[in-house]
Every structure is written in C-alpha cells, then in structure tokens.
C-alpha cells in the first residue's frame, strides 16, 4: 500500500519573512499509523499541519517548494474542499471552528457541503455523536458545552465527513486534565477502532508515550528525529536540544540511572515504570 501522507523536500516561507517556517521536510505516514509531532513552540508544527489540507500556501500565501501527497492526491493539484474529504483538520481552539446554533447543525454542516442526502446526513451525525459520547446533546448550543465537549464536537464534525486522515493541532492544549483525557481517548479510538490515520501535534508527552506508534521531533523548521516514542524519549540530549520535557517517569528513570541503578530500558509509561522500579526494589 502506498503511504497516505507523503512529504518530499518541502520548504515554506511565509510572506514578508526571510527565514523558512519549514526547511527540507521529508517523511511518510502509512495508513492507520498514529503519529505524534512534537517540538518547541515556533518549530513549524502548525504550519506543517496546514500544508496537509492545502491551506498552506493557498490561504496564507508565501513560497513553497517540494511535493505533498495525501491519500494519493498532490495538494498542488486539488482544491481545499476536495482535500477536506480525505484530510480532516481539528485546531487547538475548538470555539474558532464552531459557529452553528446547535450541536446537530454543527456536525451536519460539513456533510451538507458535501451534498449528501438528508437521511445519510442524519445517520452520519448520529453515529459521530454516539462515537464521541455526546448523543442526546443535539439541541444544545456549542457555546453551552465545556471545553472538552466542544473539542469532541469539533472532532465529530470531521468524523461525520468520513476522512481517511485526522490532523489534530494541539487539541487538548486549552483543556483541563479530565477534558484532555476524554478527547485523547476519542482520538485513540478513532485510530484503534476505526483504523483512521492520526497525525497529532501535542506538548503532552505522556499522551505520546501512551498512544502514539511514532514520534516526529521538529525543531527550527526541520524534522530532527523520527522513531517510536521509546527511541525518542531515551535520548536525553536530543530532548534537551529540542526543549522537550519527556514523561515524568522518564525523568525519574534518568535520575536513578545516573545514581548507578541498573536500568536497561527507560520506562515511558506509568505501568512500565511500576514494573521497572519493583524490579529495582527486589
């Protein structure tokens, strides 16, 4: 199977800027992968997300070189509405994406733009709301929902359009821990139960360790590391250079290792840390 996301030699510079926001980016994503894009603020992560649905450079202007293909389509050759049927984008501030009077109208909006028949729209809306755990809230106004609920509605809006790829730009950055966990569980289920390809930007490394198959580390507009989360989080020097704070259990393991304790593999989740530390105690 060809990759569902293919990025070759992509560089991009915003209008009236000299330094490129993206600099010679190369990577591929296979169908069904859960990929986390991590790195410091200003590294170019959001810009990269907007290239995947054609908004960069179409809506932002600037100069872009290289090739991006999503679901086999070159983003230069296809308009944003066509790409949106295959690539769904969810941004960090859900309120900026929600503008209809009710939740039902909000989730139905994208399907209506696709020209789907009313019965199919109703079915897709109901299935999406069931999936995100907000069935029964159809008549509520999005503004009356909690931040976590709003973010789940934003995901439902994309889910109802049935894209192959979900691109999520820091969807939990403005949420409390409970809302963050609810949103991440929905995203994980999209990947595990629906087989959707997930491309997630996040600063929460515990989520990366728990859910992602692969982590791309971005710094200064470049991809500086690409591998499983365990491989990435085992490189303390890399994390320091990229200003990434690893999961807390990694910090504890690093400290114990420096004290001389025989830790062969750095744990990246709480369950792994519990097992490793019990072995040390024995």
pLDDT tens digit sequence for 161-196: 999 999 999 999 888 999 999 999 999 999 999 999
d(CA 236, CA 245): 9
Quickly state the pLDDT bin for 251 (edges 50, 70, 90): confident
Mean pLDDT score, 252-281: 87
* Contact assessment for residue 269 and residue 249, using Cβ atoms and an 8 Å cutoff: yes
The pLDDT value recorded for residue 209 is: 94
Reference 21, options 32, 11, 34; nearest CA is 11
Mean pLDDT of 53-82: 94
How many CA atoms lie less than 13 Å away from 261 in the CB half-sphere? Answer: 17
Supply the pLDDT for residue 28. 97
pLDDT tier at 70, thresholds 50, 70, 90: very high
pLDDT of residue 263: 83
Q: Tell me whether strands 34-38 and 63-70 are parallel, antiparallel or unpaired.
A: unpaired
Residue 93 binned pLDDT confidence (cut-offs 50, 70, 90):
confident
Instruction: Give the residue ranges of DSSP H helices in the chain.
Output: 45-52, 55-58, 80-83, 103-113, 118-132, 147-159, 177-192, 205-211, 229-233, 236-241, 248-258, 270-281
Q: Which residue has the tokens 């400290």?
A: 255
Residue 58 to residue 7: CA distance in whole angstroms:
17
- Residue 261 pLDDT > 90, yes or no? no
Give the CATH H-level superfamily of domain 5-245: P-loop containing nucleotide triphosphate hydrolases (3.40.50.300)
Check residue 35 and give its pLDDT. Answer: 98
The single-letter DSSP state of residue 120 is H
Does residue 26 contact residue 3 with C-beta atoms inside 8 Å? no
What's the confidence (pLDDT) of residue 97? 82
> Residue 109's pLDDT is what?
94
Q: How far apart are CA 40 and CA 44, in angstroms?
A: 9
Which residue intervals of 65-102 are DSSP H helices?
80-83
| Count of C-beta atoms within a 10 Å radius of residue 6 | 17
Mean pLDDT along residues 249-267? 87
Confidence of residue 202 (pLDDT cuts 50, 70, 90): very high
Asked if 162 and 84 touch (Cβ cutoff 8 Å), the reply is no
Q: How do residues 97-109 score in pLDDT, each as one tens digit?
A: 888 999 999 999 9
Contact in structure between 197 and 31 (CB atoms under 8 Å): yes
Instruction: Give the whole-number percent of the chain exceeding pLDDT 90.
Output: 77
What's the rounded mean pLDDT across residues 42-66? Answer: 95
Q: What is the mean pLDDT of residues 17-46?
A: 96
Nearest alpha carbon to residue 109 among 149, 156, 67: 156
Which pLDDT belongs to residue 116? 92
Residues 45-70 have a mean pLDDT of: 96
Q: Does the structure show a pLDDT above 90 at 50? A: yes
Tokens (6 digits) for 55: 């908004």
Q: Is 90 exceeded by the pLDDT of residue 7?
A: yes
**Residue ranges matching CATH 3.40.50.300 in the chain:** 5-245
Residue 1 above 90 pLDDT? no
Torsions phi, psi for 69 (to 5 deg)? -125, 135
Rounded average pLDDT over 230-234: 91
Token match 């960090």: residue? 92
pLDDT at 41: 92
Mean residue pLDDT of the chain comes to: 93
pTM: 0.91
Distance CA(62)–CA(75), nearest Å, equals 15
Q: Are 29 and 86 in contact (CB under 8 A)?
A: no
């Amino acid at each position: 199977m060809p990759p569902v996301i293919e990025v070759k030699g992509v560089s991009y510079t915003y209008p009236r800027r000299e330094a490129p926001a993206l600099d010679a980016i190369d990577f591929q994503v296979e169908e069904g992968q859960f990929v986390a894009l991590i790195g410091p603020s200003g590294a170019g992560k959001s810009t990269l997300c907007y290239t995947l649905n054609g908004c960069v450079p179409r809506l932002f202007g600037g100069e872009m070189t290289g090739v991006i293909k999503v679901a086999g389509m070159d983003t230069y050759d296809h308009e944003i509405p066509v790409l949106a049927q295959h690539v769904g984008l969810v941004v960090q501030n859900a309120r900026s994406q929600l503008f209809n009077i009710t939740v039902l109208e909000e989730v139905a909006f994208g399907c209506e733009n696709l020209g789907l028949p009313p019965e199919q729209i109703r079915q897709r809306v109901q299935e999406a709301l069931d999936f995100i755990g907000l069935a029964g809230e159809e008549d509520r106004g999005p503004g009356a929902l909690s931040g976590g609920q709003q973010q789940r509605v934003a995901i439902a809006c994309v889910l109802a359009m049935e894209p192959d790829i979900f691109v999520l730009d820091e969807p939990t950055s403005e949420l409390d821990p409970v809302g963050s966990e609810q949103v991440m569980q929905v995203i994980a289920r999209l990947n595990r139960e629906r087989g959707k390809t997930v491309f997630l930007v996040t600063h929460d490394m515990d989520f990366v360790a728990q859910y992602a198959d692969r982590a791309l580390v971005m710094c200064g507009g470049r991809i500086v590391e690409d591998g499983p989360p365990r491989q990435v989080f085992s490189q303390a020097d890399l994390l320091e250079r990229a200003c990434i704070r690893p999961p807390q259990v990694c910090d504890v393991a690093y400290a114990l290792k420096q004290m001389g304790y025989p830790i062969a593999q750095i744990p990246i989740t709480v369950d792994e840390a519990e097992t490793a530390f019990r072995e040390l105690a024995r």
